[in-house]
Amino acid sequence: MVVKNVSKIVVELATGKKIGYVLDVCIDWSLCKRVGWVVVDDESENEFFVSCEDVKVETQNFVFVEKVESLQFDFDKFDNVIGKIVFDENLQNLGKIETIEFDNNKCIKFVTDCAEVLCKHLKFVGEDFVFVDLRKRKKIKPLSTISKKEESAILVVAQQKQVVSVPGVVNLSENNYLGKICVKDVIGYNNERVVCCGQKITKEIFENVKKHNKLNQLFFSIK
């Protein structure tokens, strides 16, 4: 299933109190496994880490923890790949990552704006780009033992779309957005329109776009 990465509300079961909202998903790329979430406190705007092991229940819109004591305020930053461009072993551009699909906490594939790439072919996650090696295959089985399901597990399910160009360095400072006009719609998670064409960027709009992890898209949509 596709796991929503941001905006889930974190609730403490012991008190029924809202702790904050999910800012980002944390993934251990050495294991291709989700290990938790980065959560922002609404009042203090401090960031802290919620481990998957401390979560009692996760739903589409909420993450429930037993007690706030389980939250970690000192944690190593996990590298977010949303918005990064994927290159294969031939340095062919496979598109910009829009979401990640999970099976429970296991990362299954990257979904870019022009392809789907299985995470098992991940080579490494760089600071700005992701590299995969599509030559990595399991041992070839005799034809008689290959099931139709295995045969259909294609390395990359490429869609008919022109390869996107690599964007330049994007400045994500708030001051570069406030007061500017958006010239096209910016779509967030669940196809939510977070900025409409013609809207003037305010601090409230900027924070909402940031929650949806769409600052890169907004950068190229303002003038």
**Tens-of-pLDDT digits for all 223 residues of the chain?**
444 556 788 898 988 988 888 887 788 888 888 888 788 887 777 888 888 888 888 888 898 988 777 666 655 656 678 889 999 999 999 999 888 888 877 888 888 998 898 988 998 888 889 999 988 554 444 545 555 555 555 445 444 444 444 444 445 577 778 888 988 888 877 777 888 888 888 988 888 888 888 887 788 788 7
Sign of CA dihedral 72, 10, 100, 147: positive
Q: Please give the structure tokens belonging to residue 209.
A: 């776009």
**Was domain 81-136+151-166 assigned CATH 3.40.50.450?**
no
Q: Please give the structure tokens belonging to residue 38.
A: 């980065």
Q: Residues spanned by CATH 2.30.30.240 within the chain?
A: 9-70, 81-136+151-166
How does DSSP assign 135-179, residue by residue? Answer: T--PPPPPGGG--HHHHT--SB---S-PPPPPP-PPP--GGGTTT
* 85 phi and psi angles, rounded to 5 deg: -90, 140
Find out whether 85 and 129 touch, Cβ atoms under 8 Å.
Answer: yes
Fold held by 9-70? SH3 type barrels. (2.30.30)
Whole-number Å distance between alpha carbons of 138 and 25: 29
Look at the chain and count its residues: 223
Question: Quick one: which H or E segment has residue 188?
Answer: none
Max intra-chain CA distance, the chain:
64
